[in-house]
Amino acid sequence: MTRIGLIRHGSTLWNQEGRIQGHTDNPLDEEGFRQAAVLAERLSGESWDYIYSSDMLRARQTAEVIAGRLGIPLAGLVPGIREMNGGLIEGTTEKERIERFGSGWKTMDMKLESRDLAQQRGVRAVEEVAARHPGRNVLIVSHGAILRSTLAGLVPSLDLSVVLKNTSVTCIIKDAGGWTCELYNGVGHLNE
């Protein structure tokens, strides 16, 4: 059985401002580094063999904090798990979207990456990492929207109605029967 821990990156200034980040390569803010350190401490009590990251700065910084604390290699950057493209709304807040496009902006073509395409690339990326390390415990640091789309493809029965929080951990297991989820949006470390 292969265990994958899917982690949403730590907080950024744009998270605090409610801005769509998409492919904008933002760094962690001070709170994001703190969250990553607290998560790394929590994970230090578990057995993890490798850590991968999206190729975006905020995910890579989160992964580097965790890798350093756990003493495991940052095994690679995986473009397939980068955040979904935010199209015309990238960098905007809800208020700015309404001002710019009107209250019906959600019904308009905002040139967003489709959920189907994002799901396909995310599933492919996670499957490739799992195939590279059968029987191991692997962490992957990524982003909220692409993780939920990917999980919808890997574990279709999973209730994804709760938005993933910054530095949340979602653990999925692959065995002969396919993928199952043992933990969704685990954030106990943020409450300690």
35 domain-assigned: yes
62 domain-assigned: yes
127 domain-assigned: yes
User: In 10 A of CB 44, how many CB atoms?
Assistant: 12
Alpha-carbon span 8 to 90, nearest angstrom: 18
Instruction: Give 28's contacts (C-beta < 8 A, 6+ positions apart).
Output: 9, 10, 11, 12, 36, 57, 58, 61, 62
Going by pLDDT thresholds of 50, 70 and 90, the confidence category of residue 67 is very high
Going by pLDDT thresholds of 50, 70 and 90, the confidence category of residue 30 is very high
92 domain-assigned: no
In this predicted model, what pLDDT tens digit does every residue of 106-145 receive, in sequence order? 999 999 999 999 999 999 999 999 999 999 999 999 999 9
Answer whether 75's CB lies under 8 Å from 136's CB. Answer: no
Domain that holds residue 137: 2-86+114-191
| Total number of domains in the chain | 1
Segment 75-94 shows an average pLDDT of 97
Statement: residue 6 has pLDDT above 80: yes
pLDDT attached to residue 171? 98
- Identify the CATH number of the domain in which residue 13 sits: 3.40.50.1240
96 domain-assigned: no
pTM, two decimal places: 0.96
pLDDT attached to residue 120? 98
Nearest to 20 by CA among 62, 78, 83, 80: 83
Binding residues for substrate, as ranges, are 8-15, 58
60 domain-assigned: yes
Strand order in the sheet with 50-53: 74-77, 50-53, 137-142, 2-8, 169-175, 178-186
Going by pLDDT thresholds of 50, 70 and 90, the confidence category of residue 154 is very high
Binding residues, as ranges, are 8-15, 58
Statement: residue 192 has pLDDT above 80: no
Going by pLDDT thresholds of 50, 70 and 90, the confidence category of residue 191 is confident
